[in-house]
Amino acid sequence: EAQVTQNPRYLITVTGKKLTVTCSQNMNHEYMSWYRQDPGLGLRQIYYSMNVEVTDKGDVPEGYKVSRKEKRNFPLILESPSPNQTSLYFCASSEDGNQPQHFGDGTRLSIL
C-alpha cells in the first residue's frame, strides 16, 4: 500500500531535548516536504526536498533541520525544541514539486 509513515505519532517532551521525527515513503517519490499546522494558521511549509541531498527552506524553517540522505526518508530534527514548536506536524511526498502530495497521518508534538 502506498503510504507516508511518520513516527512518533505523539510526543511530549521538554524544552531543549533534541528530538527527531522520522518520515518514510514507499512510492519512490522525488519530492518530500514537512509542514506544521497550528489553529488559525493553516499549514505552513518548514522544509522541502526535491531529491536526495537537495533541501530548501519553506516559510518557517527556523529551529528545524532536515536531511535527505536516501530517497525514501526525510527526517525532521529539532535540535533544541522550544514551546513555540508545539504543533501538529505533517510529512508529505509527491512525484515532483508540482504533483499531488501524499500526506502522513501527522505527529503531534508538545514541548513543555
Partner 1 sequence: SQQGEEDPQALSIQEGENATMNCSYKTSINNLQWYRQNSGRGLVHLILIRSNEREKHSGRLRVTLDTSKKSSSLLITASRAADTASYFCATDQINTNAGKSTFGDGTTLTVKP
Query: What is the contact surface with partner 1 in residues (CB under 8 A)?
Result: 4, 31, 33, 35, 40-45, 48-50, 56, 58-59, 88, 90, 92, 96-106
Distance CA 25, CA 3 (A): 6
Whether omega for the bond prior to residue 83 falls within 30 degrees of 0, making it cis, is: no
Shortest separation between residue 111's beta carbon and partner 1, angstroms: 19
Go through 22-53 and write b for each residue having 16 or more CB atoms within 10 A of its CB, e for each that does not. Answer: ebbbeeebbbbbbbbeeeeeebebbbbbeeee
Shortest separation between residue 106's beta carbon and partner 1, angstroms: 6
Shortest separation between residue 45's beta carbon and partner 1, angstroms: 6
Q: Of the two residues 79 and 96, which places its CB atom closer to partner 1 in the complex?
A: 96
Q: Of the two residues 84 and 99, which places its CB atom closer to partner 1 in the complex?
A: 99
Shortest separation between residue 42's beta carbon and partner 1, angstroms: 4
Q: Of the two residues 6 and 85, which places its CB atom closer to partner 1 in the complex?
A: 6
Instruction: Calculate the CA dihedral of residues 99, 51, 29, 19 and round it to 10 degrees.
Output: -110
Cα 29 to chain centroid distance, Å, stands at 15
